[in-house]
Amino acid sequence: MRLMELGSDAPNQAGKAKLKYSSDVQTPERKGKTIVIPSDPSVEIFPLQEDYSQFLLSCNLDVWFGGTDENPFLVRMSGSVLNELFRLGISGFYDLLVPSLMKNLKKTFGGEFVRQGDIFAYPLSYSWEEIKSSKTICCGAGFTLQTTGSKGIHVFGTRHMFSGEYIDQLKLFGTTLPTVAEGMIAAPDHKDIKLAKKPHVLAQTNGLHHPQAAD
C-alpha cells in the first residue's frame, strides 16, 4: 500500500527496528536500529507479517526487504521478488529466498540446514576423510583442505566471516558445491553459528540485488 494511502497509519515499528520517514533520503537506509524510508507518496510498503516486523518496500522501482531477523536489517532485492510475492503469496516469497541447493540437499539426504542472515549451511553426513576416501562420494578425486587462520575469510565476499577448514568447488556425487566448510561463522547483528562435527555446504539467499552487500 502506498504511504500516502496509509497516512498517519503508516507503521513506525518493525519488530526491533524503528521506522522513520524522511524527505532527506532518496532510497531506504538502515542506521543502527532505525530504518529510514523516503517520505515519498509513491513509496509502497507490503507487510510480510501482520505487525510489519518484516516487510517489502517498493521505492523508485527498486525493492527492499527489511524489518527484524535476529536484529534490524535492510537489504535491496532484485525487482522480480515483488512480482513473486504477488504470484506466490507470503509463504511462497519466503520459500523463494531459500537457495535451490539447500532444498535439493534436504530433499535428497533429509536433515535440516541452519541459517545466519543470508548465509545457509547444510551438514553433510560424511567426514572429510570419508569424502576423500570414497570414489562414490567424491568421484575418485582427491582434494586439499584450506585453513583460514585466526583472521578468517569473508563468506562469498559478504560481511559474514568464516574461520576453520574449507574447500571451494568440491564435486560430490557429480554435483559441484560452491563451498564446503567446517568451523565457525560470525557476522554483525547475528549469533555465531558453529559448523561442527561434519563439513557443511554453504549457499547464499536467492533474490539479492547485490549479494556481497547484503545486510
**Interval 98-130: pLDDT, tens:** 999 999 999 988 999 999 999 999 999 888 888
Is the pLDDT at 136 greater than 80, yes or no?
no
Q: What is the pLDDT of residue 2?
A: 77
Q: Torsion angle, CA of 153/155/161/166, rounded to 10 degrees?
A: -60
Q: What is the pLDDT of residue 29?
A: 96
Q: What is the pLDDT of residue 45?
A: 94
> Confidence class of residue 139 from pLDDT cuts 50, 70 and 90?
low
* Rounded distance between C-alpha atoms, residue 128 and residue 126, angstroms: 7
Lowest average pLDDT, out of 3-12, 29-38, 159-168, goes to: 3-12
Contact of 74 with 215, CB cutoff 8 Å: yes
CA 65, distance to chain mean position in Å, is 11
The cell numbers describing 134, all together, are 570414497
Contact of 67 with 53, CB cutoff 8 Å: yes
Q: What is the pLDDT of residue 103?
A: 95
- Closest to 67 measured CA to CA, from 15, 134, 29, 114: 15
Is the pLDDT at 24 greater than 80, yes or no?
yes
Q: Which sign does the torsion angle of CA 37, 210, 60, 85 carry?
A: negative
* Rounded distance between C-alpha atoms, residue 175 and residue 188, angstroms: 32
**Interval 142-169: pLDDT, tens:** 678 899 988 899 999 999 999 999 999 9
Mean pLDDT of the chain: 91
Q: What is the pLDDT of residue 7?
A: 79
Across the range 71-99, mean pLDDT stands at: 94
> Confidence class of residue 60 from pLDDT cuts 50, 70 and 90?
confident
> Confidence class of residue 175 from pLDDT cuts 50, 70 and 90?
confident
CA 179, distance to chain mean position in Å, is 15
Rounded alpha-carbon distances, angstroms, from residue 40 to 5, 21, 24, 189? 12, 9, 10, 29
Stated pTM of the model: 0.92
